[in-house]
Amino acid sequence: MRVTLVGASGFVGTRLMDLLKDDHQLRNIDIQPSHFFPELTVKGDVTVPSSLNALLADTDAVVLLAAQHRDDVTPTSLYYDTNVEGMKNVLQAMENNGVKRIVFFSSVAIYGLDKNNPNEDAPADPFNHYGKSKWQAEQVLQEWYKTHQDWNIDIIRPTVIFGERNRGNVYNLLHLLSTGKFLRVGNGRNVKSMAYVGNVVAFVKYMIENVTDGYNVFNYIDKPDFNMNQLTEVVCEKLGRKIPSIKIPYWIGMAGGYFFDFIAFITRKKLEVSSVRVKKFCATTQFDSTKAHNTGFKAPYTLKEGLTRTLEFEFIHPQTDGILFESE
């Protein structure tokens, strides 16, 4: 199959290209070069429609990963320029080229925080611009499908994705645990749904090859979930470190987050600690993934195996080539 990936030079896209390259013809459109697949990558920008039309010719399916996703993007209009208007531009370029299949990376951020294990039918209630823009992009797809019912539109809403070479919130937690600098905020009973990148890209491949009709939405989470106490125990056991005994009350953690917000505002620097990150860290972020796992897809790794592979690569036998991917 001829598959065009849009915005695949980053963390997930690189792993996806590595998985697909032997079975499908690939092209990657991105404003950034690809460290591992430069020969498959051409420069293009979802916010510039003229850069897409020629690049989406001669393809059977599109996988759209391009997005503004960090917590601290400024101005906030960039979320909507890329995530929403970019979606419209990709759909129009697909229409111009007769391409009728798209796999879109949305996010469980559309549900908001502290929800009760929402499935795909739960109402959207995003709390930040990233989640709001992803939900608006889904609404664009919903409207599009009303007049394009011969298309196949598949939406993946993954939870936080972690894995080798990623520098995001899960890595930050693992790094703090590895150095003994981790401070537990709250009671630790908040559940944190996660997904290992090797499983996420395997699910995308499964969708490309098997979910080929209609309009479909899937949460993706590796099950069973860990709460923060269980996650800390698994990581510390693998790293051979003692489990941190001190727990900071939530209100003190949030006060510290607001203090770092103030410092970041004064210095105009992006800091690792913020009130948003403390809030997300202490929130229950648990999501239902029954629908995805009932498709017949079998994840190649357990969640614990994904954590083990990541810890081995990053901290036990660390890689030295310096090729990393920043995310949240």
Asked if 79 contacts 21 with a C-beta cutoff of 8 angstroms, the reply is: no
Which pLDDT belongs to residue 3? 98
Q: Is the dihedral of CA 137, 139, 141, 144 positive or negative?
A: negative
The answer to whether residue 264 is domain-embedded is no
What number of CA atoms fall less than 13 Å from residue 248's CA on the CB side? 15
- Name which of 279, 236, 234 is nearest 256 in CA terms: 279
Q: Tell me whether strands 101-105 and 152-158 are parallel, antiparallel or unpaired.
A: parallel
The answer to whether residue 20 is domain-embedded is yes
pLDDT of residue 312 exceeding 90, the answer is: yes
Active site residue ranges: 130
The answer to whether residue 155 is domain-embedded is yes
Q: Rounded to whole angstroms, how far apart are CA atoms 83 and 86?
A: 5
Q: Rounded to whole angstroms, how far apart are CA atoms 66 and 48?
A: 13
| 209: containing domain | 2-166+194-222
The domain tally of the chain equals: 1
HEC string for the chain:
CEEEEECCCCHHHHHHHHHHCCCCEEEEEECCCCCCCHHHEEECCCCCHHHCCHHHCCCCEEEECCCCCCCCCCCCHHHHHHHHHHHHHHHHHHHHHCCCEEEEECCHHHHCCCCCCCCCCCCCCCCCHHHHHHHHHHHHHHHHHHCCCCCEEEEEEECEEECCCEECHHHHHHHHHHHCCCCEECCCCCEEEEEEHHHHHHHHHHHHHHCCCCEEEEEECEEEEEEHHHHHHHHHHHHCCCCCCCEECHHHHHHHHHHHHHHHHHHCCCCCCCHHHHHHHHCCECCCCHHHHCCCCCCCCCHHHHHHHHHHHHHHCCCCCCCCEECC
The answer to whether residue 299 is domain-embedded is no
Q: What is the mean pLDDT of the segment spanning 321-328?
A: 86
- Of the two residues 222 and 184, the one the predictor is more confident about is 222
> Across all residues in the chain, what is the average pLDDT?
94
Please confirm whether the linkage preceding 49 is cis (ω < 30° from 0): no
Which pLDDT belongs to residue 244? 82
The answer to whether residue 86 is domain-embedded is yes
pLDDT of residue 184 exceeding 80, the answer is: yes
The answer to whether residue 85 is domain-embedded is yes
Q: What is the pLDDT of residues 226-236, one digit of tens each?
A: 999 999 999 99
C-alpha distance from residue 113 to each of 60, 117, 276, 280, 327 (Å) = 36, 10, 11, 8, 19
Residue 83, domain CATH: 3.40.50.720
pLDDT band at 328 (very low <50, low <70, confident <90, very high): low
The answer to whether residue 7 is domain-embedded is yes
Q: Rounded to whole angstroms, how far apart are CA atoms 183 and 173?
A: 10
Instruction: Note if the pTM is more than 0.85.
Output: yes
Q: What is the pLDDT of residues 59-94, one digit of tens each?
A: 999 999 999 988 778 899 999 999 999 999 999 999
pLDDT of residue 292 exceeding 80, the answer is: yes
Q: What is the pLDDT of residues 236-263, one digit of tens each?
A: 999 999 888 888 999 999 999 999 999 9
The answer to whether residue 250 is domain-embedded is no
Q: Give the CA angle between residues 189, 195, 196 to the nearest 5°.
A: 125
Interacting residues of 74 by C-beta distance below 8 A, sequence separation 6+: none
